[in-house]
Amino acid sequence: MMTRQENLQNKIVNLEEAIRRVGIWRNTGMKVTFTNGCFDILHKGHVTYLTQAADLGNRLIIGLNSDASVKRQGKADDRPINSEDARALVLASLGVVDLVVLFDDNTPYELIKILQPDIVVKGSDYDAAERDTASKTYIVGADLMDATGGQVVSIPLVEGFSTTNLINKIKQ
C-alpha cells in the first residue's frame, strides 16, 4: 500500500507520465481540465480557483512554472519564494489536483499542445473570449482549444487575495 507521501509524489509527474495518464483518463471518458501558474505562496484565492477549475471536468492538471520560468516572468527579484519542488508538493497535497507537471518554457503552450486537455482555465484577469495573442488578457492555448473543440474558461478571482499582496503584507 502506498503511503500518503508516496501518493503526493505520484501526482508530480514528468511529461511522458502525464501523457500516459491523460491517455488512460481519455479512454475512460473523463474530461481533462488544465490550468497553469507559479502558485508561489498558496492562499485562499488559489484554492478557490483550483476547486472551481476542478469542478469543470473529471481530472485537473496543473502546469507549474519552473523556478527559471518564474524568474523570466519578471514578477520580482526574490520570486519565486518557494522552490519548484516545494510548490509542486503543496499543490499535489490538494485533493482537487490530479497531476502537477513542471514546465520550463515562458508559457505552457507546448504542454497544452501535447496534453490536449478538454478545458483550459485561467483567472478572470484573463479573458476567455480574447483571441489576440499579443493581448495581456489572452489565455495561452485558446487557439488550440478552438481547433480541437475544447473550452477556454475564465474563473472569477477572490477579491483581496494575491501572492504579491501577501508578500507585501509580510514585509510590512
Nearest to 22 by CA among 91, 108, 92, 119: 119
Q: How far is CA 6 from the centre of its chain?
A: 21
- For the chain, the average pLDDT equals 93
Nearest to 112 by CA among 18, 34, 19, 30: 34
**CATH code of the domain occupying 4-171:** 3.40.50.620
Listed by start position, the domains of the chain span 4-171
The pLDDT assigned to 14 comes to 98
Side by side, which strands form the sheet with 32-37?
A: 12-13, 99-103, 59-65, 32-37, 119-123, 151-155
Banded model confidence at residue 84, pLDDT cuts 50, 70, 90: very high
| pTM summary value | 0.93
Nearest to 39 by CA among 31, 29, 49: 49
